[in-house]
Amino acid sequence: MKERESLDLLGIKPIGEAISAATKAAIDAASAFLGRICLPAAEEFGLLIRDKISFWRLKNFLKISEKAENLLKMNPDFELKHSHPRLVFSILEHGSWSEDSTVQDMWAGLLASSCTSGGEDDSNLIFINLLSHLTKSQARLLKFSCECSGKYVERPGLIMVGQFVIKLNTLFKVMEIDDINIIDRELDHLRSLGLIVGGIIPEKDDSADITPTALALYMYVRCQGSKDSPVDYFKLEQGYCTLPS
């Protein structure tokens, strides 16, 4: 176990004395976590990442790693779950560039939900690719739309979403943007990724349709650290789910 924990998985030994004791402890914890969930490629991680990750990116990934481990601990037999090396490295490579807490939470959820008993499931690659293309304002909007929209089940058990229209003032607050042209561009991009339908409604200059797609709901659930289907995650039966108050 000591040998596993001593691996320089993050490739940060050259930083040396510039790192505080608290940060070193966080690095040791992250290294042990990565070594446990991805042991087959543990030694290779140091070689792949060495000299490529700055101290700023390192701090970002340490937060993601800690959040992911906490999420994973909520599952039974979490110590027996592993992730495919390709997923772990992709999340490290892309996630470490973000210091936004909402986006970091999503990366942590993807890392946690990438861990399975067999460690061979690579389905999260879809969502890693999507999240790597989102701005922090788009991530906030996606989280809001998935949590607050009305959902129901259609035959043969597929999740569906009712049209979700909100006022622009609410949209400005959620996305933390006050420029309508930037908002329009961000919505266009989310629509091009297949994560929402609609956009700003021309006939209603004070409203926007931000209905999330089924793909967005699948992504949201994985970003919460869950492997459940959206139907199971939101505890849906026939009819709409209860919306947050």
pLDDT tens figures, 59-105: 888 899 999 999 999 888 878 788 888 999 899 889 988 999 999 99
Query: Based on the domain organization, do 13 and 128 belong to the same domain?
Result: yes
Query: Based on the domain organization, do 25 and 68 belong to the same domain?
Result: yes
Which structural domain range is residue 88 located in? 2-132
Query: Based on the domain organization, do 115 and 10 belong to the same domain?
Result: yes
Domain count along the chain? 2
Domain CATH number, residue 211: 1.10.10
> What is the model's pLDDT at position 42?
52
* Ordered strands of the 207-209 beta sheet: 165-167, 207-209, 199-200
Query: Could you tell me if residue 242 is inside a domain?
Result: no
Query: Could you tell me if residue 155 is inside a domain?
Result: yes
Lowest mean pLDDT, pick from 29-38, 71-80, 235-244: 235-244
Query: Could you tell me if residue 49 is inside a domain?
Result: yes
Query: Based on the domain organization, do 87 and 117 belong to the same domain?
Result: yes
Residues 6+ apart with CB under 8 A from 209: 163, 164, 165, 196, 197, 198, 199, 201
Q: How far apart are CA 10 and CA 50, in angstroms?
A: 7
Query: Based on the domain organization, do 157 and 99 belong to the same domain?
Result: no
Query: Based on the domain organization, do 21 and 82 belong to the same domain?
Result: yes
Domain end marker among 100, 132, 164: 132
> What is the model's pLDDT at position 77?
82
Q: Using DSSP, state whether 98 is helix, strand or coil.
A: coil
Query: Could you tell me if residue 244 is inside a domain?
Result: no
Query: Could you tell me if residue 8 is inside a domain?
Result: yes
Q: How far apart are CA 7 and CA 78, in angstroms?
A: 21
Q: How far apart are CA 77 and CA 232, in angstroms?
A: 20
* pTM score of the predicted model: 0.78
Query: Could you tell me if residue 243 is inside a domain?
Result: no
Name which residue leads in pLDDT, 22 or 245: 22
- Tell me the CA distances in angstroms from 118 to 75, 97, 114, 229, one per residue in order: 15, 29, 11, 19
Domain end marker among 132, 149, 173: 132
Residues 6+ apart with CB under 8 A from 6: none
